[in-house]
Amino acid sequence: MKFDTPAGTNPIDQLKVVGRPTDRIDGPLKTTGTASYAYERHDVVPKQAYGYIVGAGIAKGRISSMDTREAEQAPGVLALVTTLEHAKPLPLGKMNVAHLFGGSEVAHYHQAIALVVAESFEQARAAASLIRTSYARSDGRFDLAKAALTASYEPIDDEAPNPQDIERVGDFAGAFAKAPVTVDQTYKTPGESHAMMEPFATIAAWEGEKLTVWTSNQMIAWSKASLAKILSIKPENLRIDSPFIGGGFGGKLFVRADAVLAALGAKKAGRPVKVAMQRPLMINNSTHRPATIQHVKLGATRDGRLTAIHHSSTSSNLPDGGPEVAVQQTKLVYAAPNREYWLKLAVTDLPEGNAMRAPGEAPGLMALEMAMDELAEKLAMDPVELRIVNDTLVDPAKPERRFSQRHLVECLRTGADRFGWSRRQAKPAQVRDGDWLVGLGMAVGFRNNLLQKSAARIKLGGDGKLTVETDMTDIGTGTYTILAQTAAEMLGVPLRDVAVKLGDSDFPASAGSGGQWGANNATAGLYAACVKLRETVAQKLGFNAGEVTFADGKVSAGNRSLPLAQAGPLTAEDGIEYGTLDKEYQQSTFAGHFVEVGVDVYTGETRIRRMLAVCDAGRIINPKSARSQVIGAMTMGAGAALMEELAVDTRFGFFVNHDLASYEVPVHADIPHQEVIFLDYPDDKSSPMKAKGVGELGICGVGAAIANAVYNATGVRVRDYPITLDKHLEKLPAIV
C-alpha cells in the first residue's frame, strides 16, 4: 500500500480497540517466566554447548601471540576459536564501525579475541582464563577534550542535496553581536551505556550450510543482512529468531560479537552453541552514547524573542564512525531569523559510539534547554513563556514547510497548569522543606517522526481467529499488543481472537524497533495487510468491498451479514510504503517536561520529588503501554541528569565502571511520582494509523528539566552532566 495522501476516515477511526488502555497480551508470559529470551531457548535445538568470550586486554595495538594449549586441554572443552585463526578481520557488518572478530589488530578495549566452547558455562569460563595472550601495545587517543582540539567538521545532514560542514541561515554573528540579551555557554554530556537487563545473547546451530540464530536483536532484517555479510554466507541460508527482547535502547540495533562467535563456535564444535556476553564486555565491547562538548549561543530582544541561535557539538568515535548529532533538534524547535550549526568529530580509540535511545535530541536538549533557562533568567522572564514566545508552526529554515501537527504551546500550558508552575519562585534557593532546598524546572521535549517501510502477514483461520506474522520485535514496548489491537479493529474481532508472532526473519520484513518509529510503521504495515484481507474476504463472501463492515466477528453490508469465519482460511500480505508527505510537511513530536527536585542542604544529595510529561505525538494506539514507554524514558532522563557516566581511563582506554555495581542507573526508589498526559491530535500526514512515535520523546528534555530544577532549588548552575553532589556541594547556600 502506498501512503502518499493524508489519511481520510478509515476503520481505525472506530477506536473500539485501538486507542484504548489495554493490558499487554504477552504480560502473562512475562510475569510467569514462560516468555523465553534468547539464552533460555533450551527447547529450540538439542545438545547446546556453552561459549565464553575473551576480550582484549588492551585498547590499541596488536596481538603478538596466544597460547591456547592449556585451555584446549581443560575439562569439558569442545572447541576454541581465536582471532588469530583469521589472517584478516571478518567483513564489517552493514551497520558496524568496528570489526567484531578476526585478525591480530586490536581497535578497542574488550574487542573479542577468542571463544571457548565447553559442555558447561563454568567449564568454558575456567578454560578461558587459561589462555595466555601477549600484546604489542600502541599509543591510543582516549581523551575527548584533547582529541577535540584536532576534531574535523562532519556534515549535519548527509542526505541533504549539498551537505554542509556549517549550516547557516541569515547572519548569526551580526545578530548575536547586536542582541541586547545573550547567553554564551559550554555544556558537557558524558558517555552513557545502554545498560539493558538482558545481555547480548545468541544460540547458533548449523544444518549443513544453513544457519539459525536465536538471538536478542531489535532489527531483524538489518541484522540478517549484516550477519550474512560478516559470515560470508547467503542470506537465504540464514534465519534469525528473536521473539522476546529484554531491553535494547539502541544497543541491539546491530549485530554484536555474541552472534558472530556463537556461529563460529557452533561450526567448529559441530554442535549448537549458546553465548551470553558478560557484563563488562557489554559496556566495552558494544556501542555506547558518545560524550559531547556542546556550545550554545542565544541572542534575544528584551521581550524574549530569539534573534540568533548557535549550537555546535563535538563528540568522538573510532575511525570511520559518525558523530553524536546533538544539534539536529535545534534547527526545528525555535524560530530565529539568524542561525548557525555545526558538528565536529574527534577520532579516538574508545569503543564504538552509536545510537542510544533518542540519539541526538537526548543529549542535545540537555544543552539547549539549559541555555534557554539561563536566557529566561537574564530576561527576568518565565521559562514557559519564553518558549511559547519562540514557538513556530513552520520549519524555521523553510517557512513554506509547515509542521504536520504541532501543539507544543498546549503541552506547555497544560503542563504548567497541572504541575502548579505558577507557585515556582523565580529567584533560586528560596523554598525549603526541612533539610531540603526545593526547586521546579521545565524543558521542551522534541523528537522527529520517522517513516519506514514495514510489512506484515495476516491469516484468517476457519474458526474466525487471526494470526499476525511480521519480523517486528518487542523490546518491552508492547508491540505484541498494539499489533493485536490493529488487527482486531480492522477485522472486527475481540482481542482474544488475535495471535501475534514476531521476530522471525522468515516473516515479512518490518520497520523494526528503533528511532521511536516501530509502533506507527509496524501497525501501518499491518493495516495494509488487513485492508488486503478485508477485500479478499468481501470478494469470497460476495460483498462489495467498498460497502462492507467488520464487527462482532461478522461481515455485513446492507441487510446481509455472514460470520467472518465462513471466509477462512485466507492469508493476506502487504506493507506500507510512503510517498513524499514527510518531505512536504515536517513531522515531529513534542513534549513539555516539568520536574520538582529537592537538594539536601547538608550533603548536596539530589532527590526527584515529582515529574510530569505532556506529550503531543499523534494518535496513541495503546495509552497504557505508551505511558510505560514515557515514564521509562523519563527515568532514563533522570539517570542522564544525575548519575549515569561512563568513566574513561584515559591512560589505558577503557570504561572503568563496566558493570551494574559501578555504572549507576535509576531504580524505583529514585523516581517517586510520574504523571503523563497525552494530547489527542491524530496526525493524518503520518500514516493510516494517524500515530507517531512516543517512546523516545519521553527522554528528550528531561535532563535539562532536572538540571533547571536543581538550579532553581540551589542557585548553583552545573553545566557538566551528570549533576553529582561533588559538583555543587561547596557552592550550596550557607546553612542558616
Catalytic residues: 696
* CA atoms in the 13 A half-sphere facing the CB of 385: 11
Phi and psi, residue 484, nearest 5°: -65, -40
Phi and psi, residue 223, nearest 5°: -75, -30
| Grid coordinates of 568 | 477462512
From CA 375, how far away is CA 208, in angstroms rounded? 66
Reduced to 3 states, what is the DSSP secondary structure of residue 158?
coil
**Closest residue by Cα to residue 306 from 157, 421, 464, 172:** 172
Q: Is the peptide bond before 290 cis (omega within 30 degrees of 0)?
A: no
Alpha carbon dihedral 659, 661, 663, 665, in 10-degree steps, equals 120
From CA 294, how far away is CA 368, in angstroms rounded? 9
Find out whether 488 and 494 touch, Cβ atoms under 8 Å: yes
From CA 41, how far away is CA 295, in angstroms rounded? 48
| Grid coordinates of 455 | 510489512
Per-residue buried b or exposed e for 127-136, using 16+ beta carbons within 10 Å of the residue's own CB: bbebbebebe
DSSP letter, residue 586: B
Cα 148 from chain centroid (whole Å):
26
Sign of the dihedral defined by the CA atoms of residues 695, 696, 700, 706, in that order: positive
Find out whether 118 and 80 touch, Cβ atoms under 8 Å: no
Q: Is 258 left (phi over 0), alpha (psi -120 to 50) or beta?
A: alpha
Strands (DSSP E) found in 474-530:
498-502
**Closest residue by Cα to residue 371 from 292, 290, 294:** 294
- 562 CB-contact burial (10 Å; exposed 0-12 / middle 13-18 / buried 19+): middle
| Grid coordinates of 123 | 567449564
Task: Work out whether strand 498-502 and strand 466-470 pair parallel, antiparallel, or are unpaired.
Answer: parallel
**Closest residue by Cα to residue 219 from 473, 398, 414:** 473
Listed in sequence order, the DSSP H helices in 420-517 are 479-491
From CA 321, how far away is CA 312, in angstroms rounded? 18
